[in-house]
Structure 1
Amino acid sequence: MNVLAAEWVKARSVRSSWLLVGLSLGAVPLAAAIAWAAIGMYDAASPPMRRTARIAELEEVVLIVPQLCMGVMGVLAITSEYATGLIRTSLALVPRRWPVLMAKSAVVGGLGLVVGPVVVFVTYAVTAAMLAGRFPVASFGERLSTLVASAVTVAVFALLGLGLGALLRSAAAAIAVLVGLVYVIPIVVGNLPEPWSEPLGSVMIGALPREIAGADLTSSVYGALLPPPVAGVVLVLYAVVPLAAGLAAVHHRDA
């Protein structure tokens, strides 16, 4: 418990943590601004165009903001200590090492579990209220499972960033891999010829919330091959595998 308390103090005592949480919450007004622009376009459109008007689920559109912010927080939670040398003090006080990484995981993962639902559910509530009467809006019950799965991905990103930071020890390198892994590679996969595009697209993190929810994926830019339990396991692996690799690196390398 002392290790966990120490990591919580570290997280809330640095300005970058508050900045990243604030930027994450900024996804809500961003989605509201997109909705406002869509309303303006709708009101200016002709009646035939209005009848066929559609808009993407804005909570999914802006989800990239808290995902990336919390992923960066996970990276900085450990790479900042390597950069300043504070990691030597941490590991000297906790020689077994694994409790340090687990405590960091609990802190950044816990923050992700708070920030993710706040952003996702508030964004849905605000934009659904704004768009109702103009665009088709799925009910809360219809969207609930997808909203929950989407919110959980924010915590997964935080743990993914922490694992990459522990493994690479460099904030720049870990953030570059984080961005490449979850944003660049899906673009490459999406442009692969079949039969490779859909199977590989199905395991991209962007595809997983809807697969977990068993939602309609006919219009998805990803694949749609994973049943909900398998998609859930893949999402967990996005967090567990980097953390395991990072833990092994912390155990076998000097601080």
Structure 2
Amino acid sequence: MKTVSLSSVVASEWLKLRTVRSTYALLGAGAGILLPAAGISAAMIADWDGSTAEARAPFAAADPGVLVMPFAQFCLAALGALAITSEHATGMIRTSSVAVPGRRRLFAAKAVVVAALGLAAGQLIALASMAAGHLLTGDRPAPIAAGTGLADAVLQGLLLAASALVGLGLGALIRSTAGTFTALAALLFVLPALAVFLPWDVTAYMLPDLAALDAGPALLAMAGYGGAALAAGAAAGRHRDV
């Protein structure tokens, strides 16, 4: 049997991903949330400008990323999930497996494509959010000033890419779009909310908050989440029928 090169499989997976409407819908939603987020930031700034010094003290930072990042994180994780769950839903995974008999090769190609798109989209969204925050707040001081710098924005972009890989891994493990979306919602929103009730503080190591860590620990944690999800998805693919 002729072995299909990894580059050919990657090209095929990229063609699949860029020719489905869900890809553009999720990328558009992840980027489009910046507009209402900027509107909320502008309203906060207007309120801050008209407040007394005492009233300004309790204000939070008018950083659009507070709203942009969680929403974009779910959108990119969902995109990663759909890269494989949609094929299971339609039965196209059987065709893909016949064309590329090596399951690990097929899954690796999907991971390469999802990682590349997640990285590009994640960095664009994070950098645009940072730029909007600084443009809106100008030279206003803390607490209203947007505190995200370039290094922080890059980490946030990497977190969005890691989230896309987590979505792909969970999608390969669960195989159901609805089930995977539920698991992602639990991982990104429910578990961090419940973590505050634990006797020890683990919120900084939950997936949504990793970009707040120092660069070294943040990168290790992102790699750990993404690697664990991909390993689980790859193992499930090897031990279950298509």
Per the normalisation by structure 2, the TM-score is 0.90
1:209 deviates by 1.1
Matched, 1:59 2:65: yes
Deviates more, 1:76-85 or 1:37-46: 37-46
Task: Spell out the pairing of 1:158-177 with structure 2 (5 A cutoff).
Answer: 158-177=164-183
Q: Structure 1: where are the runs of 5+ without partners?
A: 214-228
Q: Which piece of structure 1 moves more, 165-174 or 23-32? A: 23-32
Cα distance in 2, alignment partners of residues 36 and 174 from structure 1: 35
In the other structure, the counterpart of 2:113 is 107
Q: Which residue of 1 aligns with 2:191?
A: 185
Give, in angstroms, the shift of residue 58 of structure 1: 2.6
Aligned to 1:218: none
Which residue does 2:102 correspond to in 1? 96
Q: Secondary structure at the match of 1:57?
A: coil
Matched residue type, 2:237? V
Tell me how far apart the structure 2 counterparts of residues 134 and 43 of structure 1 sit (CA, whole Å): 9
Which residue is equivalent to 2:88? 82
**SS of 2:214 mapped into structure 1:** helix
Give the distance between the partners of 2:16 and 2:211, measured in 1 at CA.
Answer: 31
> Identity of aligned pairs, percent?
37
CA contact (8 A) 1:149 1:212 kept: no
Q: Deviations over 1:64-88 (max 9, x none)?
A: 1211111111111101101111000
Show the counterpart of 2:23. Answer: 17
Residue 131 of structure 1, aligned match among 112, 131, 137: 137
Mean Cα deviation higher: 156-165 or 102-111: 102-111
**Structure 2: distance between partners of 1:5 and 1:233:** 29
Question: 1:60 touches 1:150 (CA, 8 Å); kept in 2?
Answer: no
Asked if 2 retains the 8 angstrom alpha-carbon contact of 1:21 and 1:70, the reply is yes
Does residue 1:147 correspond to 2:153, yes or no?
Answer: yes
Task: Name structure 2 gaps, 5 residues minimum.
Answer: 1-6
Distance in 1 separating the partners of 2:50 and 2:220: 45
Give the match for residue 247 of structure 1.
Answer: 234
Write the deviation string for residues 156-197 of structure 1: whole angstroms up to 9, x where unpaired.
1111010001001101111111110121111111122x3x2x
RMSD between superposed Cα atoms in Å = 1.8
1:5 aligns with 2:11: yes
SS at match of 2:213: helix
Q: Is the 8 A contact 1:166 1:247 kept in 2?
A: yes
Q: 210, 213, 220: which one pairs with 1:233?
A: 220
The amino acid of 2:196's aligned partner reads: G
Alignment of 1:121 onto 2:127: yes
Q: Which residue number corresponds to residue 202 of structure 1?
A: 204
How far is the alpha carbon of 1:61 from its aligned partner? 3.4
Given that residues 167 and 250 in structure 1 are in contact (C-alpha distance below 8 angstroms), is that contact kept between their aligned partners in structure 2? yes
Report the Cα distance in structure 2 between the residues aligned to 1:64 and 1:138, rounded to whole angstroms. Answer: 17
Matches of 1:122 and 1:154, distance apart in 2: 14
Equivalents in 2 of 1:100, 1:60: separation in Å? 36
User: What is the TM-score when the length of structure 1 is the normalising length?
Assistant: 0.85
- Give the secondary structure class of the aligned counterpart of 2:207: coil
CA contact (8 A) 2:171 2:177 kept: yes
Equivalent residues of 1:55, 1:135 under 8 A apart? no
